[in-house]
Amino acid sequence: MNREIEGNRVPDVTFRTRTPDHEWKDVTTADLFAGKKVVVFSLPGAFTPTCSTAHVPRYNELAPEFRAQGVDSILCISVNDTFVMNAWKDDQKADEIIFVPDGNGEFTEKMGLLVDKSVIGFGKRSWRYAMVVKDGVVEKAFIEPEKPGDPYEVSDADTVLSYLGGGKKKPQDIVLFTKPGCSHCARAKALLTEKGLRYREIDADPGLLRSVSGAMTTPQVFVNGMLIGGADQLESKINEIIAT
C-alpha cells in the first residue's frame, strides 16, 4: 500500500456515473478536482456499518463547517458501481456529498490504496483514508494505520476539519440510536434540542444496536465516539458534554 501520496497529483481517471434522469454520464478527475479545494474520503464499501453510521453521516453533517474553510466539495469514493453509490446516497440522505463510483477500482489502484478483502468476500476494495486536494494535488493525507480489520482512527470528518481549521475546537459529534414510539428517546432528543446541541439519529436495528453498544434498550447515546448510555445517563452528563 502506498502511503506517500502527499504532493502527488490525483490519477487521471474517468468515472462512469448514472444521473438522476437515468442517463449515463462520464465524470473525469479534472471535472472533480481542477481549480478546486476538495476533501475526499474513501472507504471499503457502501452500506457497511462504520461507513453508514459514522463516516458518511459526519461528513454530511459538517459540510457547512468545511465550506467555511474554503472547501468547494466533499467526495466519497468507494469501489462500488454507480447504482449502488446512488442508492446509498439516497439512503443516507447525504445531499452535501458527491458520491463517486470507482467501480473497477482504477482510481483507488492508481492511488496505491487498493487492498484485497477477499477473506470477507469483498474482493478488491479501497483502504479507508481521507485527503485534502488542491487543484488536483494532494496537500494532506489521512490514511488509516495498517492494522487487521477496518481501522477508523484518522480519516474521520472531525480530524480533517481540525486540520483545515488549524486545530480549533470541533463541533460535538452526538449520535442517538432510537426506536419509534420510545418515550426515553423523545426525552433525550428534547434535552439536546433545549441545550442547543446538534445530533444525528439512527434507527436502532437490533443487530446493529447490539454490535455498537452491547445493549438492546433505547436510546443509546454516543458523544465523540464514546458511549454515554441512555436518557438518564445523558441527563446526568449533559453539563459535562456542553463544557467539552
Q: Write out the catalytic residue numbers.
A: 51
> Can you list the positions of beta strands (E) in 30-189?
37-43, 73-78, 98-101, 114-116, 124-126, 129-134, 137-143, 174-178
What is the residue whose three cell numbers read 434522469? 21
Cβ burial 214-230 (10 Å sphere, 16+ → b, else e):
eeeebbbbbbeeeebbb
Residues 99 and 88 sit within 8 Å (Cβ to Cβ): yes
C-alpha cell at position 29: 478527475
98 — phi, psi (to 5°)? -95, 120
211 — phi, psi (to 5°)? -70, -30
38 — phi, psi (to 5°)? -125, 140
* Burial class of 178 by CB neighbour count within 10 A (0 to 12, 13 to 18, 19+): buried
